[in-house]
Amino acid sequence: MANILVVDDESGVRSVLKQLLERTGHCCIAAGGSAEARELLREQPFDLLIADINMPGETGLSLVADVRRRYPDLACIFLSGVDDPESIQNAIDLGVHGYIVKPFSGKGVLIGVANALQQRRLELENRQYRQSLEKLVAERTRNLEQTIRQLQRREQELIRSREEYRHLMISLPSIVYRGYPDWTVDFVGDRIEDVTGYSKQDFDSRRLKWSDLVLAEDFDQARRDTLVAVKAHSHYLREYRIRHRDGRIVWIQDRGQPLYDANGRVTYIHGVALDVTEQKQAQEQLRSAREEVQLLLDAISSILIGIDGANRIKRWNQVAEKVFGLAAAAVLNQPLGECGIPWNWSGIAKEIARCRRRRAPVRIDDVRFTRADGRQGFLGITLNPIDTDSSEGDDILLMAADITERKLLESQLGQAQKLESIGQLAAGIAHEINTPTQYVGDNIRFLKDSFQDLFDLIETYQGLAEAVAPCADTAALVQTIAELRDTIDLEYLREEIPKAIAQSIDGVERVAKIVLAMKEFSHPGTDEKKLVDINKAIESTITVSRNEWKYVAELHTDLDPNLGLVPCLASELNQVFLNIIVNAAHAIGDAIAGREGARGTVTIATRPVDDWCEIRISDSGCGIPKAIRHRVFDPFFTTKEVGKGTGQGLAIAHDVVVNKHQGTLAVESEVGAGTTFIIRLPVTVPAATCQAVK
């Protein structure tokens, strides 16, 4: 039995060959590459080297060429996944003892090994014999006839080995052929009938050409591939379809190498052809499956980002492109933390690491980021570990949704619920205040009228007292009345009581106005727009918000009386006016802070402008810096310290004006010169036909 060295970069191939050869009694050692093989060759002798042609680094061809020079007594066999004529020719040129094509059969391998060892044994014996013959030619002349017979016998053995090798070639799964420029072919083996339905004799007799089977739509490309290879003195690899004898379509993968005569003309082409129909069908099914998966992924409304163990991006769907404004082609294979998403990457990286440690989904809420349009937003993210044979849980699928609108709606809902509660409370208080205010006012008016009657009576009594003063019997009584009149200062009362009653009536009327404004401001909203007197709505809002601005500013109005009515959602528009007025008061408060007695100005003006109703709310506050002016309507953006603002007031105002009323909301501001908010609402109904909502 022989010592055999197997060199192949595929551990499975090494293992199969080692087991096969050792079962037949050989001693087999396997190496994974050329460097390891050379080390083994230096350490111990081998009878046979089986080497893969295509290996990473140094190829089998290079290894065998070197081994043949260093160890001329070592037999060599090549392994190859492709029956490439050029490789076969190179192997022949190196003087190898066999060529085994993958996938191989056990029998084929054993035949090839036996043939190679036999050839090696014959070569060694021949070499030894020639050496001995040179020394003993004189002595062995008498044995020449016997030697010739031995050589003949060995030649027969060699012929038999070659015949076995030819049978091995015939048993290959591919079709080995020799083709000619006129597309006639000679085939080795009978597998051609399995692939085409035609017998080998059909082609050998030249009744059938290979071009007769190739589909017309594929023939031109197949011919061009051949011509390119001929011109370049190179091999070709082409795929095309043929029509089987029974009418079905068969995919062929064809590898060939032109051979030339002394004049450079092609004499024939030798090559191998494989039936790859099943592979093509599998590829098409896989392609369809991938398309279906991609369609499914594209239909998902969430952001989907797949990352590997090194946090490199492997998947980036269309929603991610839209939300982040980054094309998939620009970010694939880039580290997630360096792809340009404006968010808190360090925090997300910690959660990704936690997801990998726990091998369980991790939820991250309220992740701030900057949208593609430059506005601030929030993401809700779920991290899911992907456990595959290759990733072992290190791959992560990041699913995210832009929850900015939801958070805005939640905030609006919270404010709406709060305002609804306040509105209900205010409406109740207004109702409760209204009743006593009415009878207090009625009683004061009654007192006013009654005091006037009493003073008329007192004046009459005064006249009577003056008339009866000379009478002795009434002198004492008149004196008493005069003293009492002086004591109570009747003239003072006559002057001040009407003033006090007038002031009380004015106060009651003011309370009634405030109550009415509260009732109008807190009137429950509806889902339908109604025609509203914008001036009246502004006046109600001014009254309700008086406590916010009266300590820091004077409020002036310039309301156009010819403005007409505007279709809108009254309660929501009242909230817009309130938010902007309160914002103006706060801005003025910041501007005059530390200046005792200083007051600012808030001015509210309305004008009809073409088909729009324009409302301008200006303040003399500190103004908005240019760098952040474009963000004042972003949800949750605020320059106020924690606890003094949520950043929702102007965002809600923008949503109500732009989205719910199809209007516009703009801001004009200069630092130190104040700010003006400009609201424009569409007027879609002529003012002459409108009726105000009472």
Q: What is the pLDDT of residues 590-611, one digit of tens each?
A: 888 888 888 999 999 999 998 8
CA 413-418-423 angle, 5° bins:
120
Q: Which amino acid is located at 312 in the chain? A: R
Tell me how far apart the alpha carbons of residues 530 and 570 are, in angstroms, rounded to a whole number.
7
Note the pLDDT of residue 642. 41
Tell me how far apart the alpha carbons of residues 456 and 462 are, in angstroms, rounded to a whole number.
10
Burial string for 357-383 (b: 16+ CB within 10 Å, else e) reads eeeeebebeebebebeeeebbbbbbbb
Please give the average per-residue pLDDT across 447-469, as a whole number: 68
Lowest mean pLDDT among 83-92, 432-441, 593-602, 632-641: 432-441
Alpha helices in 306-344 (DSSP H): 318-324, 328-331
CATH topology of domain 526-689: Heat Shock Protein 90 (3.30.565)
Output the average pLDDT for the chain: 80
Taking a C-beta distance cutoff of 8 angstroms, is the pair 117, 48 a contact? yes
Which CATH number is associated with domain 3-170?
3.40.50.2300
- For the stretch 139-166, pLDDT in tens is 766 666 777 778 778 878 877 776 665 5
User: Which CATH architecture describes the domain 175-281?
Assistant: 2-Layer Sandwich (3.30)
Note the pLDDT of residue 508. 67
Taking a C-beta distance cutoff of 8 angstroms, is the pair 590, 598 a contact? no
Give kind and range of the element (H or E) at residue 676: strand 674-682
Note the pLDDT of residue 448. 67
Topology match between the domains 175-281 and 526-689: no
Strands (DSSP E) found in 276-343: 303-307, 313-316
Tell me how far apart the alpha carbons of residues 531 and 685 are, in angstroms, rounded to a whole number.
9
* Angstrom distances, CA of residue 82 to CA of 104, 210, 255: 11, 22, 9
Q: Is the pLDDT of residue 375 over 50?
A: yes
Q: Is the pLDDT of residue 285 over 50?
A: yes
HEC secondary structure over 214-237 = ECHHHHHHHHHHHHHHHHHCCCEE
pLDDT band per the 50, 70, 90 thresholds, residue 214? very high
Tell me how far apart the alpha carbons of residues 452 and 456 are, in angstroms, rounded to a whole number.
6
Taking a C-beta distance cutoff of 8 angstroms, is the pair 77, 48 a contact? yes
For 137, phi and psi rounded to 5 degrees? -55, -35
Highest mean pLDDT (candidates 132-136, 374-378, 604-608): 604-608
Q: 600 pairs with which residues across the strands?
A: 553
Please give the average per-residue pLDDT across 452-475, as a whole number: 69
Taking a C-beta distance cutoff of 8 angstroms, is the pair 79, 97 a contact? no
Q: Angle between the 34-43 and 60-70 helix axes, to the nearest 10 degrees? A: 20
Query: Residue 592, SS3?
Result: coil
Tell me how far apart the alpha carbons of residues 90 and 61 are, in angstroms, rounded to a whole number.
8
Rounded percentage of the chain residues whose pLDDT exceeds 90: 21
Count of residues for the chain? 694
Query: Residue 185, SS3?
Result: strand
Tell me how far apart the alpha carbons of residues 15 and 13 are, in angstroms, rounded to a whole number.
5
**CATH class of the domain whose range is 300-402:** alpha beta
Tell me how far apart the alpha carbons of residues 118 and 536 are, in angstroms, rounded to a whole number.
113
Q: Which of 626, 562, 543, 617 has its CA nearest to residue 587?
A: 617
- Is the pTM higher than 0.85? The answer reads no
Q: Which of 273, 264, 266 has its CA nearest to residue 203?
A: 273
Domain residue extents for the chain: 3-170, 175-281, 300-402, 408-520, 526-689
* Angstrom distances, CA of residue 550 to CA of 286, 509, 520: 73, 19, 21
Q: Residue 184 has which token pair? A: 């006639």
Q: Is the pLDDT of residue 570 over 60?
A: yes
Q: Is residue 103 reached through a cis peptide bond, with omega within 30 degrees of 0 on the bond before it? A: yes
Tell me how far apart the alpha carbons of residues 482 and 158 are, in angstroms, rounded to a whole number.
164
Q: Which of 142, 122, 144, 140 has its CA nearest to residue 132?
A: 140
pLDDT band per the 50, 70, 90 thresholds, residue 284? confident
Q: Which of 107, 63, 79 has its CA nearest to residue 13?
A: 79
Q: 681 pairs with which residues across the strands?
A: 613
Q: Which amino acid is located at 89 in the chain? A: Q
Alpha helices in 522-607 (DSSP H): 534-544, 546-549, 570-591
pLDDT band per the 50, 70, 90 thresholds, residue 557? very high
Biggest distance spanned by C-alpha atoms of the chain: 202
Rounded percentage of the chain residues whose pLDDT exceeds 70: 79
Taking a C-beta distance cutoff of 8 angstroms, is the pair 179, 256 a contact? yes
Q: Rounded to an integer, what is the distance from CA 75 to the centroid of its chain?
A: 59
Q: Other CB atoms closer than 10 Å to residue 206's CB: what's the count?
A: 12
